[in-house]
Amino acid sequence: MSARVQDELKKKLITEDDYTWKTGESLKYIGGVDISFLKDDSSVACGTLVVLDFETLDVVYEDFVLVEIEVPYVAGFLGFREAPVFLQLLEKMQNGSHPFYPQLLMIDGNGILHPRGFGSACHLGVLANLPTIGIGKNLHHVDGLTNSRVRELMEAEENLNSDFISLIGDSGNILGAAINSSRGSFKPIFVSVGHRVSLASAVEVVRRTCKYRVPEPIRQADIRSRDYLRKHH
């Protein structure tokens, strides 16, 4: 669990579109992962992987694993805590040979919107060698970005009509996008590139999977993960 390991893994990071759909086959199976914790013993967790049909948003696959997590939560190092659990679930699908193996994965956590440009979505993407998209429900204050700054941007004249705004840090880098996914909430979600997907494609995929504020793959993983813990404890 170190910044040096993140820097090392980051060398393999790809931040543009790198996949076979749209040219060959189409994007059909999209995965979502999440982890929920036991209220009493927060070291006991349930890792969840769901796969949805991109067209219908039906859940076509779900799997759970109960684990004990020793790695503590430290902001900026979420990948070390969660990625191993998700890798375990992906491996159970025989590393790609399962008919519902996801072509793309959405992660509860950021991609390059991160202090060192390597959030948990990048982390999992590189280790699983899968296209990933990071979804943050709260802004990780990075590179000068703050909630008030984001609010300013969203309320600015030129952005009132746009369905998303680019998050540009003090460095001038585009770190992600804030989007108001459902027409009721003014609280945005924060989308950032994980691995092998461009920001434009990430925003597009997120938009198409949003029935509510949180995109369905993440939302379903979250709901079912909680449900699993409730039934098995």
Partner DNA sequence: GCGACAG
Partner DNA sequence: ATCTTGTCGC
Contacting positions for DNA (CB under 7 A): 34-37, 39, 42, 73, 75-79, 108-110, 114, 119-121, 134, 136-141, 146-147, 226
* C-beta closer to DNA: residue 1 or 200: 1
H/E segment holding residue 121: helix 120-128
Among 47, 157, 52, smallest CA distance to 91 is for 47
Decide the pairing of beta strands 29-37 and 104-108: parallel
Residue with tokens 């008919």, as numbered in its chain:
99
* C-beta closer to DNA: residue 21 or 88: 88
Relative orientation angle of helices 120-128 and 78-91, to the nearest 10 degrees: 30
Q: How far is the CB of 77 from DNA (least distance, A)?
A: 5
Q: How far is the CB of 6 from DNA (least distance, A)?
A: 8
* C-beta closer to DNA: residue 94 or 148: 148
Q: How far is the CB of 156 from DNA (least distance, A)?
A: 21
Q: How far is the CB of 160 from DNA (least distance, A)?
A: 20
* C-beta closer to DNA: residue 51 or 121: 121
Q: Which residues neighbour 63 within 8 Å (Cβ) at sequence distance 6 or greater?
A: 48, 49, 89, 92, 93
Sequential DSSP letters for 21-52: TTTSS---EEEEEEEEE-SS-TTEEEEEEEEE
Q: How far is the CB of 82 from DNA (least distance, A)?
A: 8
* C-beta closer to DNA: residue 27 or 205: 205
